[in-house]
């Protein structure tokens, strides 16, 4: 076993792709935009838990409140008094590039040709270091963060177009990678989706105003009517004259939504790519049962992200579904690392078994993904200690063999279990009686991507744009910018 794949001495790291980020923008004539943005961010908390923030504008200035922690930890009633106004944007962050530090909490506020501009982004700009140098050389820009979002903000606020649409399009010609942006000046809200549509962004209507958000669940939480997803390369401008939109003419016409949105990232009650995420996950489980049947007594899922897929597997296979693992939903992130003898503490803190349900049973255990393989062996061991007779692991995603450079922290190639071990070696490593992954063909059959439309680079290595394979998350800290 290579050293990169050994379980760490201390804590057991989270073994799923790390969250991306969540963004929201609210324009309302009722003047409570920041409060609406708060509740929208609360619905998007699953997309990042490192920091969060809201920027508000009232036609005269732009005010930002951002800090480290969860949305409910950052905002108290007095914090909303300076955030008065009919327009607000918000962000909840997981750092896909750049450190988890206060200077990188978003929205970021910059100044340039067009006055104060606040901006928040979900994604990763792979040529951010080069763009940062251009801004320093051409405009003498100074940077207060190590995130690529500041690069975008300064590019936008130093562009030469006569309208915001033209300025965004000018940026799109230079930006390489994935992004869904919300920005605002003192009197205008801007939203934009990258020309490949890798990161999600949707549009809704609320009481004569407008809302944009990473997921439709955020619209539901604030009572907005879901209208549609933004098209790849689309820019939406909202101001006192209403809403207008335009699509960049330089796009390829291809769609490359990150398929992991449907597998894992998005909330099950969100609409994405025109589909209810919960239904897609059930169908993934059913396809998994077709591809990898096994004789068993019960199907269980690893809660909560795999529950729908486990139900789909059970329905297709005819094997009864049951809860077998109970998740402690109130476990937050901890910085206390247990000693070697307590290395399973991280998993035991998060899960407990229903011994009377699983004892003596042959189990099909459905999970959404295996990344480093650091958690799965402990889960299998927990089930065996709970009395499971057999443990057959089924994964409703193909093997992850390639890192992501488009806004998801997926680990390096040398850390990815499936990039370094065969199927039999992985099965032995995690301690399962058998192991089956969903095929890429089966995945695309379910999501409707047989003819394209999704980014599946983490499975296939076919990136939608050229990438530097050793690109570092912290590239901007070494004299260049970081993402999100």
Residue 81 confidence (pLDDT) = 95
Alpha-carbon distances, residue 463 vs 56, 121, 459 (angstroms): 36, 21, 10
- Angle of helix 307-317 relative to helix 277-291, nearest 10 degrees? 50
For strand 202-206 and strand 225-229, is the pairing parallel, antiparallel, or unpaired?
antiparallel
Query: Which of 203-207, 226-230, 407-411 bottoms out in mean pLDDT, i.e. has the lowest?
Result: 407-411
| Domain ranges across the chain | 21-254+474-478, 277-460
Residue 467 confidence (pLDDT) = 72
DSSP letter (8 states) at residue 231: P
Q: What is the pLDDT of residues 246-283, one digit of tens each?
A: 999 988 778 899 999 999 999 999 999 999 999 999 99
Whether 97 has a pLDDT exceeding 70, the answer reads no
Residue 110 confidence (pLDDT) = 95
Instruction: Kindly state the tokens that stand for 202.
Output: 């949707």
CA contacts within 13 A on the Cβ side of 102? 6
Residue 25 confidence (pLDDT) = 98
| Averaged pLDDT score across all residues of the chain | 88
Asked whether the beta carbons of 58 and 84 are under 8 A apart, the reply is yes
For the chain, percent of residues with pLDDT exceeding 90: 74
- Which residue numbers are catalytic? 21
Rounded Cα distance, 218 and 120, in Å: 16
CA contacts within 13 A on the Cβ side of 483? 28
Choice between 14 and 43, residue whose per-residue pLDDT is larger: 43
- Fold classification of 277-460 is Rossmann fold (3.40.50)
Residue 346 confidence (pLDDT) = 65
State the average pLDDT over residues 350-374: 94
Q: What is the pLDDT of residues 124-133, one digit of tens each?
A: 999 999 999 9
Residue 1's pLDDT band, with cuts at 50, 70 and 90, is very low
Query: Which of 85-89, 101-105, 127-131, 454-458 bottoms out in mean pLDDT, i.e. has the lowest?
Result: 101-105
Q: What is the pLDDT of residues 100-111, one digit of tens each?
A: 678 899 999 999
Residue 328 confidence (pLDDT) = 81
Residue 335 confidence (pLDDT) = 36
Residue 7 confidence (pLDDT) = 32
Q: DSSP characters for 64-84? A: EEEEES-HHHH--GGGGSTT-
Sign of CA dihedral 284, 286, 292, 294: positive
Residue 406 confidence (pLDDT) = 83
Instruction: Kindly state the tokens that stand for 27.
Output: 């324009």
State the average pLDDT over residues 175-193: 96
Closest CA to 184 of 80, 66, 55: 55
- The partner residues of 393 in beta bridges, in order of sequence, read 365, 435
Choice between 148 and 17, residue whose per-residue pLDDT is larger: 148
Whether 476 has a pLDDT exceeding 90, the answer reads no
- Fold classification of 21-254+474-478 is 3.60.20
Task: Name the region of 361 (left: φ>0; alpha: ψ -120 to 50; beta: rest).
Answer: beta
Write phi, then psi, for 55 (nearest 5 degrees): -115, 135
Residue 468's pLDDT band, with cuts at 50, 70 and 90, is low
Rounded Cα distance, 67 and 102, in Å: 6
């Amino acid at each position: 076993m290579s050293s990169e794949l050994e379980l760490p001495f201390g804590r057991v790291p989270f073994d799923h792709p790390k969250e991306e980020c969540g963004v929201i923008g609210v324009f309302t004539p009722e003047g409570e935009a920041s409060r609406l943005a708060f509740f929208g961010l609360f619905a998007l908390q699953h997309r990042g838990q490192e920091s969060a923030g809201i920027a508000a504008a009232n036609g005269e200035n732009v005010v930002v409140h951002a800090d480290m922690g969860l949305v409910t930890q950052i905002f108290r009633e007095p914090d909303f008094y300076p955030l008065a106004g009919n327009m607000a944007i918000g962000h909840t962050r997981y750092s896909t590039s750049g450190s988890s530090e206060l200077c990188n909490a978003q929205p970021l506020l910059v100044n340039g040709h067009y006055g104060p501009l606040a901006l928040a982004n979900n994604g990763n700009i792979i040529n951010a270091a080069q763009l940062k140098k251009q801004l320093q050389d051409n405009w003498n820009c100074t940077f207060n963060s190590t995130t690529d979002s500041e690069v975008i903000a300064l590019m936008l606020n130093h562009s030469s177009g006569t309208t915001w649409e033209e300025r965004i399009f000018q940026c799109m010609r230079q930006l390489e990678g994935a992004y869904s942006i919300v920005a605002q000046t003192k009197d205008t809200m801007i939203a934009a989706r990258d020309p490949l549509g890798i990161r999600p962004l949707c549009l809704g209507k609320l009481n004569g105003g407008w809302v944009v958000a990473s997921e439709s669940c955020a619209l539901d939480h604030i009572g907005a009517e879901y209208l549609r997803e933004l098209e790849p390369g689309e820019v939406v401008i909202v101001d006192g004259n209403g809403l207008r939109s335009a699509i960049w003419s330089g796009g390829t016409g291809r769609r490359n939504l990150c398929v992991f949105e449907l597998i894992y990232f998005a909330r099950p009650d969100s609409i994405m790519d025109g589909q209810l995420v919960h239904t897609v996950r059930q169908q993934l489980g059913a396809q998994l049962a077709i591809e990898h049947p096994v004789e068993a007594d019960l199907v269980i899922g690893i809660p909560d992200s795999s529950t729908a897929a486990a139900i789909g597997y059970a329905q297709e296979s005819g094997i009864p579904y049951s809860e077998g693992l109970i998740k402690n939903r109130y476990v937050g992130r901890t910085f206390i690392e247990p000693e070697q003898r307590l290395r399973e503490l991280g998993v035991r803190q998060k899960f407990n078994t229903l011994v009377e349900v699983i004892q003596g049973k042959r189990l099909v255990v459905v999970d959404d993904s295996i990344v480093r393989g650091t958690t799965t062996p402990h889960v299998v061991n927990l089930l065996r200690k709970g009395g499971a007779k057999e443990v057959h692991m089924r994964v409703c995603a193909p093997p992850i063999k390639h890192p992501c450079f488009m806004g998801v922290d997926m680990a390096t190639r040398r850390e990815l279990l499936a990039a370094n071990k065969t199927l039999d070696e992985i099965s032995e490593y995690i301690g399962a009686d058998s192991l089956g992954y969903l095929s890429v063909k089966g995945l695309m059959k379910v999501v409707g991507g047989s003819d394209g439309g999704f980014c599946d680079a983490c499975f296939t290595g076919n990136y939608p744009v050229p990438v530097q394979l050793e690109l570092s998350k912290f590239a901007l800290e070494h004299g260049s910018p970081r993402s999100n």
